């Protein structure tokens, strides 16, 4: 790994400002990790060998992260990230998502088709190579085309040189202020070793998903194979025998999803006052209807549970962001820092006062867009929340193809589909004919009747019918399927709203982000970190409790005792029967989950957490509600990353699953 040495020239005006970093803030690329800051604050020297081993042991998998935990390709991740694999290997006799799975010998480890594991083997800054492809005065469209061509060549040359099993990707950082070339080694043969039952992995389900304390054993093991044999992985994370205690410094290696920390205060205010309140209100309404439906019978509960969990997860993110943005301290902090940057820009002779107009332009654009946002959210941004059939129909109408997951998805429950579609029809009716062709959609029916006709009449429930239509634009256009016809009627309105939004704020939003990120890069250089891009990053923090919004102190760790205190063996607080029987054999004071101030995001799920010795102490599986606004601005006052403790995993493997071979491979003494 090459360290980043180039620091941009900074004028005197810029020197008056320090980066607005919180206590443990930062989604740091490996070649930019702030070793000096960690040394100064924690009196701990992060060596290059420490970072290299963490990088080479950390893995990116679809939907999240993982890490090598043995020299034989063994990987640790989350149970919820292997749920698709569990479903694929299940049979009529065995539902492995419900029962759990353990392969006590390598010969019985089944393949997880669709899961690949990628390791960042090296990086290199290629900014000059990319930017040299187009002259500074070249027209924007031409410059973009030339630079994209340069990027494609850099990636191809790198991949050809790296050889089989490797691929290269140029990553755009600081909105084009810097470009890095990442080389990955990819393992395409990944097999399942162990996963606990869903009831214990996601204990508390939707009710606990918005809070902490949490009591989930959301951990699973995979194995990477190469040439039909377990992969040789000399860089792996050794299992900690001591785990963590409050105040410990920890490091997380992950692939955080896109963040928007370059967003302006005007954008945050618009999200706070318009977008997020509408999202929360809409989700609350459909969730309440589904909850009422679920309460009427066990069959209803089972039918609604997958949709309800998905919507509750979405609600958690929207509500958490809204709660954070309604905290005046967060937006004020953003505004104060933004004003400092604007003054520095004004005083820079190479930029000047005209450069600050970008903030005013963004604020004006959002004021002009505000009246259009409600129909945009309902018709284009998120139509029919919870409806799988409408999502399928819309994708066919819009793209002529289907994502593999939608093409093969099982038929959804008719009653659930009717409920969520009727709710959406009510929303369309409230908008009126101005924004959508309501008369044509309803065709003289009530929203309930229209939803019933579409759901009961569609052929899209059958994956075979979807497959026939996917890729056949003529058949889609000629189809008289009521769900497809509904999606086609809505599409013209959605297209108009997309264009209106792009004209009003879309293109400006992108250019403003680029300009402001450029100012920040010019201002701070390598002392500031780039927004997350779904690529490998390192975060650090401490194991630390917090006081929640109700004023209740929350400890940094919880235990198996809390799990059993919470259990009533009904609904979300149900655990497998063998766990009920196991209680007396467990150390109930053993840590199960813990929280830290690590600055994590969605792609961090499954990521390893290590101590100062580089030993594995946990695996990330969530963030608390208060961490959701970290998408826009980090704060360590209440935001916490949530991890499964290695001590808890080891006790479960020994006592609940008798996984002696797995424990031996991990080097855990019993």
99-113, 201-215, 539-553, 611-625: least confident range:
201-215
Specify the DSSP class assigned to residue 258: P
- For residue 354, count other CB atoms closer than 10 A to its CB: 9
Separation between Cα atoms, residue 382 and residue 401, nearest integer Å: 19
What is the predicted pLDDT for the residue at 8?
39
Q: Does domain 22-116+201-260+534-670 have CATH number 2.40.10.120?
A: yes
Q: Give the tokens for residue 369.
A: 């867009």
Contacts of residue 538, Cβ cutoff 8 Å, sequence gap at least 6: 28, 29, 30, 33, 51, 54, 55, 251, 252, 253
Separation between Cα atoms, residue 600 and residue 26, nearest integer Å: 9
Per-residue burial over 21-34, b = 16 or more CB atoms within 10 Å of its CB, e = otherwise? bbebbbbbbbbbbb
Q: pLDDT for 616-626, tens place per residue? A: 999 999 988 88
What is the predicted pLDDT for the residue at 396?
97
What is the predicted pLDDT for the residue at 20?
56
Summarize the confidence of residues 39-59 as an average pLDDT. Answer: 97
More confident residue, 113 or 275: 275
HEC per residue, 365-428: HHHHHHHHHHHHHHHHHCCCCCCHHHHHHHHHHHHCCCCHHHHCCCCCCHHHHHHHHHHHHHHH
Contact between residue 255 and residue 603 where contact means Cβ atoms under 8 Å apart = yes
| pTM for the model | 0.85
User: What's the angle, vertex CA 22, arms to CA 20 and CA 28, rounded to 5?
Assistant: 85
Ranges for all domains in the chain classified under CATH 2.40.10.120: 22-116+201-260+534-670
Q: pLDDT for 55-114, tens place per residue? A: 999 999 998 999 999 999 999 999 999 998 998 899 889 999 999 999 999 999 999 988
Contacts of residue 324, Cβ cutoff 8 Å, sequence gap at least 6: 330, 626, 628, 629, 630, 632, 633, 635
Q: Give the tokens for residue 309.
A: 């969990």
Per-residue burial over 647-661, b = 16 or more CB atoms within 10 Å of its CB, e = otherwise? bbbbbbbbbbbebeb
What is the predicted pLDDT for the residue at 197?
96
What is the predicted pLDDT for the residue at 517?
81
**pLDDT band, residue 349 (cuts 50/70/90):** confident
What is the predicted pLDDT for the residue at 18?
56
Q: Is 85 exposed, middle or buried (0-12, 13-18, 19+ CB in 10 A)?
A: buried
Per-residue pLDDT for 14 more than 60? no
């Amino acid at each position: 790994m090459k360290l980043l040495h180039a620091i941009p020239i900074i004028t005197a005006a810029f020197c008056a400002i320090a980066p607005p970093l919180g206590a443990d803030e930062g989604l740091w690329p490996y070649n930019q990790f702030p070793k000096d800051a960690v040394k100064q604050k924690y009196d701990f020297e992060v060596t290059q060998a420490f970072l290299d081993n963490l990088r080479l042991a950390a893995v990116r998998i679809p939907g999240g992260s993982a890490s090598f935990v043995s020299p034989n390709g063994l990987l640790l991740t989350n149970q919820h990230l292997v749920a698709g694999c569990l479903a694929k290997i299940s049979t009529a006799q065995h539902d492995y998502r419900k029962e759990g799975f353990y392969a006590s010998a390598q010969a019985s480890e089944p393949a997880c088709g669709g899961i690949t594991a990628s390791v960042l083997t090296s990086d290199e800054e290629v900014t000059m190579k990319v930017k040299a492809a187009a002259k500074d005065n070249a027209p924007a469209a031409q410059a973009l085309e030339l630079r994209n061509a340069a990027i494609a060549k850099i990636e191809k040359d790198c991949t050809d040189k790296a050889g089989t099993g490797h691929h290269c990707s140029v990553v755009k950082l600081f909105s084009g202020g810097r470009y890095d070339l990442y080389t990955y080694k990819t393992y395409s043969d990944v097999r399942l070793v162990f996963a606990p039952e869903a009831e214990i992995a996601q204990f508390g389900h939707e009710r606990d998903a918005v809070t902490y304390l949490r009591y989930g054993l959301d951990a699973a093991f995979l194995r990477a194979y190469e040439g039909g044999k377990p992969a040789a992985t000399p860089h792996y994370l050794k299992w900690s025998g001591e785990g963590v205690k409050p105040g410990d410094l920890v490091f997380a290696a992950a692939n955080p999803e896109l963040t928007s920390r370059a967003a302006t205060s005007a954008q945050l205010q618009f999200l706070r006052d318009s977008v997020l309140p509408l999202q929360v209100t809409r989700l609350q309404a459909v969730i309440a209807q589904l909850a009422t439906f679920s309460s009427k019978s066990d069959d209803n509960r089972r039918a609604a549970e997958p949709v309800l969990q998905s919507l509750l997860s979405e609600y958690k993110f929207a509500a958490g962001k809204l709660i954070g943005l309604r905290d005046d301290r967060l937006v004020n902090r953003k505004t104060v820092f933004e004003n400092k940057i604007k003054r520095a820009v004004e005083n820079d002779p190479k930029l000047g006062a005209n450069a600050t107009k970008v903030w005013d332009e963004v604020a004006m654009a959002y004021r002009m867009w505000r009246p259009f946002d409600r129909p945009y959210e309902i018709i284009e941004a998120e139509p029919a929340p919870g409806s799988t059939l409408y999502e399928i129909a819309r994708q066919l109408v819009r793209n002529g193809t289907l994502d593999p997951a939608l093409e093969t998805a099982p038929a959804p429950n008719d009653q659930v589909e009717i409920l969520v579609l009727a709710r959406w029809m009510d929303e369309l009716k409230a908008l009126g004919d101005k924004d959508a062709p309501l008369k044509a959609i309803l065709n003289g029916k009530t929203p309930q009747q229209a939803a019933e006709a579409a759901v009961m009449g569609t052929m899209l429930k059958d994956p075979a019918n979807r497959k026939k239509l996917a890729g056949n634009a003529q058949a889609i256009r000629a189809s008289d399927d009521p769900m497809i016809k509904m999606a086609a009627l809505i599409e013209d309105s959605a297209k108009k709203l997309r264009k209106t939004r792009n004209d009003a704020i879309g293109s400006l939003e992108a250019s403003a982000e680029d300009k402001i990120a450029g100012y920040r890069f010019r201002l701070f250089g390598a002392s500031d970190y780039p927004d997350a891009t779904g690529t490998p990053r390192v975060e650090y923090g401490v194991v630390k409790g917090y006081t929640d919004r109700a004023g209740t102190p929350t400890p940094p760790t919880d235990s198996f005792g809390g799990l059993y205190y919470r259990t009533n063996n009904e609904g979300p607080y149900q655990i497998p029967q063998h766990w009920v029987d196991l209680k007396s054999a467990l150390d109930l004071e053993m840590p199960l989950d813990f929280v830290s101030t690590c600055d994590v995001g969605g792609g961090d799920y499954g990521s390893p957490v290590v101590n100062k010795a580089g030993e594995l102490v946990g695996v990330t599986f969530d963030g608390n509600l208060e961490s959701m606004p970290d998408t826009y601005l980090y704060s360590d006052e209440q935001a916490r990353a949530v991890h499964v403790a290695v001590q808890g995993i080891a006790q479960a493997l020994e006592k609940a699953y008798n996984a002696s071979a797995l424990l031996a491979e991990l080097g855990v003494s019993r």
